[in-house]
Chain A
Amino acid sequence: MNFEEYAAKPLLKAEGIVVPAGELVRSADEATAVAQKIGACVVKAQVPTGKRGKAGGIALAASPDEACSEAARILGMQIGEHTVEKVLVEAQVPIASELYAAVLNDPVTKSPLVLFSPEGGMDIEEIAENHPEKLMRLPVDIRHGFDPAEVAANLPELGDVNQADLVALLEKLYSVYAANDAELLEINPLVLTTNGDLIALDCKFTLDDSGVKRQEELAEHGTPDKTTELEARSHAVNLKYIELEGNVGVLANGAGVTMTTMDAISHYGGAPANFLEIGGEAYRLSKEALEIVLANPNVKSLMVNFCGAFARCDVMAEGVVNAWKELEPDIPVFFTIHGTGDKEAIALVREGLGLEPYEFMDDAVRAAVEAAQ
């Protein structure tokens, strides 16, 4: 779950990392009032995407009048697929140089990785490519936590940055990461001011989705993924549904089999209408799942692919057969069924719908693609 700048910065501030004074507002009038309090300011669009600056969503304002006009311009603006509904109005900071700092979960070392570079203000990929010698990538043993001496020993050339101040800031950053089940916590840019202070000018925080259940209060401040109506409906019953552009509906169990069914549809010249898996404990929800797939009017045929391991094919098939009889959809459906409970499941489909499941997925998919055309 991603947190926008306005929701991420308070986490830094609570740990003692300095962020510019400012407020989140939803109108030009409110922006004016904030600017009157803090003076020369920056008006920053708050949307869950990284391309705000390039899109014209960040502007300097020397006076309250300018803050008013810039806020009026930015509010309502379209950035990527998002409409700007709120802006952060923050005091301007006298910048001497821009730095980069982050802590993230690293699959290669299987540990938290502390990243720091005196070259900031650009993407980390760019820093890694253009200034690899200036990028510290230090894995931390999560059992022992942040070790200031080890970090100090691994820092690159710092220029005018005070080493003790920087190590203290990184330690705070690590604390915020550890306390909040972060997947990624990034300050970019971290700025060195002309007064020699370190200030977090921006902040990106991604909460580990598997950490949400022990961070419920925190998660309320995150930005939920933008969803379609059907996606929202599926999430409400704990189903993973993603709407796609095609016309062959997909109902399968397990993320792997579902993705593979989509791949096969695409390989045989069709286009999948959705991702929807009912694996894990969700395998009992096949009736709800079918209703959601069929609610998409683009669906012209349906491919049902069950490969039971943990999930039982008989339970899934029973749900689908019952729902099919109840909904009486006017489209053809194609089955392949194998694995735990397959014999009973095949019998249910035969008796309930008078259909014969295919032995091979490829054959069933080819038929489903043809039927959708």
Chain B
Amino acid sequence: MIVRGSETVIVQGITGRQGTFWAERMGEYGTKIIGGVNPKKAGTIHIGLPVWGSAVDAAAETQVDATVLFIPPLGVKAAALDAISAGIKKMVVMTEHVPVQDVMYFLAAAREANCQVIGPNTAGLVTVGESFVGFMPAFNPGIFKPGKVGVISRSGSLGTMVCLNLVQGGLGISTFIGIGGDPIIGTTTKDALVALDNDERTEAVAIVGEIGGGMEEEAAEYAKTMSKPIAAFIAGAASPPGKKMGHAGAIVMGNVGSYAGKKAALETAGVAVVPTPSGIPDVLKGLI
């Protein structure tokens, strides 16, 4: 999923500390932020933008293409269902620690309504030079210099580091898709890879994976069908098995989700897997 600069975005939870801060940053960058939601502050104006009582109310009044949720964990399910009821087709869920049964619930509802979901526990999306949705440092030109590489990352901070490495290596970024660090998420590595394969501004892809789960393996199957060059870094080679490494999704159980398994699957698909992120630009430079 990619959010373009022409698409309208609302912020659910806009009046909170983080919602306010990032709504301002997104607006400054060029994201078409048209307002926000807080059921207790319906009808008020916040940072110069209208506040609606629900996403349904917002969509009744104006065209809403996408929504971003800055909502506490236990409120996410209701907020997401509100956005889905509103007919919004793109949703970005920032929140970490949303109960997984709640996540599965609103993902099922989203699937039925053809609403694409990014996250939960994502840092968001950047369409470089047009818009960003979430809390990425898109406005830092040393990190998000325009270019031709699409980046997929489960982690916001590591994704930022890889974009930085690409820029340090003389390349630039087309689109950043942060998919989130939870075990169950709306957009998988493979889904993001399909989006970048179809994105005409993207000529090469960097996959930033992590140990745990089977998403990189699934993406490797799709990578076999692609002509755009791909480089990958998988974090967690030095992590002990059986321990959760910060992200709920980053845990190796038995052989499932291991570094070796992911590396082998990607290499079989012709993807170059590098030992540290600084290797990514070295691989891609000759291929664009």
The answer to whether A and B interact is yes
Residues of A in contact with B (beta carbons under 8 Å apart): 105, 107-108, 110-112, 125, 141-143, 178, 181, 183, 208-211, 213-214, 240, 242, 244, 252-260, 262-267, 272, 275, 277, 279-280, 307-311, 338-340, 342, 359-362
Pairs across A and B, CB under 8 Å, 10 listed: A110-B103, A110-B184, A142-B108, A253-B157, A256-B154, A279-B156, A280-B96, A310-B135, A339-B164, A361-B278
Q: How far is the CA of A257 from the CA of B243 in the complex (A)?
A: 17
Q: How far is the CB of B241 from chain A (nearest CB, A)?
A: 12
Contact assessment for A362 and B238 in the assembled complex, using a CB-CB cutoff below 8 Å: no
Contact in complex: B278, A258 (CB < 8 Å): no
Which stretch, B7-15, B57-65, B244-252, touches the partner chain A? B244-252
The 6 closest A-B pairs by CB, nearest first: A256-B155, A254-B157, A255-B246, A256-B158, A266-B238, A259-B235
Nearest to A211 among chain B residues (CB) is: B99
- Among B160, B237, B250, which residue has the most Cβ atoms of chain A within 10 A? B160
Q: Are A338 and B142 in contact (CB under 8 A)?
A: yes
Residue of A nearest to B135 (CB): A310
Partner among B104, B109, B235, B247 whose Cβ is within 8 Å of the Cβ of A263: B235
* Contact assessment for A256 and B153 in the assembled complex, using a CB-CB cutoff below 8 Å: yes
B254 near A125: Cβ-Cβ < 8 Å: yes
Cα separation A267 to B273 with both chains bound (whole Å) = 14
Q: Which residues of A contact B158 (CB under 8 A)?
A: 254, 256-257, 259-260, 307
Tell me how far the C-beta of B98 lies from the nearest C-beta in chain A, rounded to whole angstroms. Answer: 6
Majority DSSP secondary structure for residues of B touching A: loop
Give the shortest distance, in Å, between B140 (CB) and chain A (any CB): 7
CB distance from B21 to the nearest CB of A (A): 10
Q: Is B74 an interface residue (CB 8 A)?
A: yes
Determine the distance from Cα of A148 to Cα of B122 in the docked complex, in whole angstroms.
36
Q: Across the interface, do A210 and B100 meet the contact criterion of CB distance under 8 Å?
A: yes
Establish whether residues B137 and A279, one from each chain, have CB atoms under 8 Å apart when the complex forms: no
Of chain B, the residue at the smallest CB distance from A208 is: B100
Contact of A141 among B18, B108, B181, B236 (CB under 8 A): B108
Other-chain residue from B108, B153, B215, B236 in contact with A259 (beta carbon distance below 8 A): B236
Contact A310 B156, beta carbon cutoff 8 Å: yes
Cβ contact within 8 Å between B275 and A308:
no
B123, CB-defined interface residue at 8 Å: yes
Is B101 interfacial (CB 8 A cutoff)?
Answer: yes
Q: Give the CA-CA distance A242 to B241 in the complex, in Å.
A: 12
- List B contacts of A342 (CB < 8 A): 140
Question: Of B30-38, B85-93, B192-200, B206-214, which binds chain A?
Answer: B206-214
Complex contact A255–B155 (CB within 8 A):
yes
A211 to B97 alpha-carbon distance, docked (Å): 8
B125 on interface, CB distance cutoff 8 Å = no
Q: Is the CB of A257 within 8 A of B155?
A: yes
- Quick check: A143 and B109 within 8 Å, CB to CB? yes
Given contacts A111-B104, A263-B236, A361-B276, contact A309 B136 (CB under 8 A): yes
Q: What A residues does B202 contact at CB under 8 A? A: none
Nearest-neighbour CB distance to chain B for A234, whole angstroms, equals 12
Within 8 A of A (CB), among B130-161: 135-137, 140, 142-143, 153-161
Report yes or no: A181 in contact with B101, Cβ–Cβ below 8 A. yes
Please give the distance in Å from B113's CB to the nearest CB on chain A. Answer: 12
Q: Beyond A338-B161, A339-B164, list 7 extra A-B contacts (CB 8 Å).
A: A105-B183, A213-B97, A266-B238, A309-B137, A339-B161, A360-B278, A362-B276
Bound-state Cα–Cα, A222 to B104, Å: 24
> Does A339 lie within 8 Å of B155, measured CB to CB?
no
- CB neighbours (8 Å) of A111 from chain B are 104, 108
Please measure, in the bound complex, the distance between the C-alpha atom of A78 and the C-alpha atom of B212, giving whole angstroms.
Answer: 29
Interface hits, B21-74 → A, CB 8 Å: 73-74
B100 lies within 8 A of A183 (CB): yes
